Amino acid sequence: MRTVSLAETASSTYAWPVHAEKLQVRAGRHLAVDELDMRLGTGVHGLLGPNGAGKTTLMRALATVVKASGGRLTVLGGEVTGNADLRQVRRGLGYLPQHFGFYPRFTVREFVEYIAWLKEMPKAAIPGAVQRAVERVGLADRADTRMKTLSGGMLRRAGIAQAIVNDPAVLLLDEPTVGLDPEQRLDFRELLREIGLDSCVLVSTHLVEDVAVACSDVVLISEGRLVWQGTAGQLAEQGGAGDAGDSATERGYSAVLRAYRGRVSA
């Protein structure tokens, strides 16, 4: 049986689970997110953009790991750029960072349990929630294996398990499909679609095809700004025969970026 998360039982008086207005976030001294406006509702949102576009920095700000240096950011109704109770917001979040740390002697189960405990899940709900998260990422047969002995793809799946253990209302996944084999990628797309039915999921990736298949909506950023937002089908319609790419979605991606670069250099 599915455990009901704290985020679901909290009253949701906000219009958008994620709402950024003129958001600015620094990475070191660099302004990596610059006056970004973005609203995300329920569904699976694919976050695309070239290397250095600011995807990881944006994810980190949404995950409340870094503070914004300007603008406004509201996550699950809490203004995280203001004086919101971050503990309350964090209980409703799931986050898979691009690189995540773990104690190598922990088993997969201990690692996911530890994150559930950090998220202040009710003690009695933790064992069942951990088992379910591990099963959902296809690691049930490795639950009692030490983290240090997992393959790269299995580690990534353990990372996804910790991100979903609390049934988060906002799930942030930074390049989750890196290292997954083709079969696991297909299962993962299915998992994303399932979670996106009642949660807001943001997935950063360079695999435009993953976005085309698994995401209800695409957010494209470049130089820290929102360049384009729409459905994967609408993105595909932006491209033409002369645009770079092996699929309609890739050609759409190239066309949108080309148009944006033309606008900023004009």
Ligand X SMILES: Nc1ncnc2c1ncn2[C@@H]1O[C@H](COP(=O)(O)OP(=O)(O)OP(=O)(O)O)[C@@H](O)[C@H]1O
Rounded least distance, CB 207 to ligand X, Å: 12
Backbone torsions φ then ψ of 210, nearest 5 degrees: -60, -40
Number of Cβ within 10 Å of residue 240's Cβ equals 11
Give whichever of 56 and 64 is closer to ligand X, judged by the CB atom.
56
Query: Closest CB to ligand X belongs to which residue?
Result: 28
Q: Name the nearest CA neighbour of 180 among 198, 208, 159.
A: 159
DSSP states along 25-52:
EEETTEEEEEEEEEEE-SEEEEEE--TT
Q: Name the nearest CA neighbour of 202 among 67, 27, 73, 9.
A: 73
**CB-based contacts of 16: which residues, under 8 Å, 6+ apart?**
39, 40, 41, 74
Give whichever of 5 and 205 is closer to ligand X, judged by the CB atom.
205
Only one residue has tokens 């933790």, namely 126
- What does DSSP assign to residue 120? T
Sort 159 into a burial class: Cβ within 10 Å, 0-12 / 13-18 / 19+. buried
Give whichever of 22 and 30 is closer to ligand X, judged by the CB atom.
30
Rounded least distance, CB 111 to ligand X, Å: 24
Give whichever of 113 and 250 is closer to ligand X, judged by the CB atom.
250
Query: Burial code of 5-17, b = ≥16 C-beta within 10 A, e = fewer?
Result: bbbeeeeeeeebb
Rounded least distance, CB 96 to ligand X, Å: 13
Give whichever of 56 and 166 is closer to ligand X, judged by the CB atom.
56
Cα angle 17, 235, 187 (rounded to 5 degrees) comes to 65
Rounded least distance, CB 263 to ligand X, Å: 20
Rounded least distance, CB 180 to ligand X, Å: 17
Chain-centroid distance of CA 155 in Å reads: 17
Give whichever of 28 and 242 is closer to ligand X, judged by the CB atom.
28
Give whichever of 28 and 101 is closer to ligand X, judged by the CB atom.
28
Rounded least distance, CB 53 to ligand X, Å: 4
Q: Which residues pair with 45 in a beta bridge?
A: 202, 217
Binding site for ligand X (CB under 6 A): 27-30, 32, 49, 51-57
Rounded least distance, CB 28 to ligand X, Å: 2
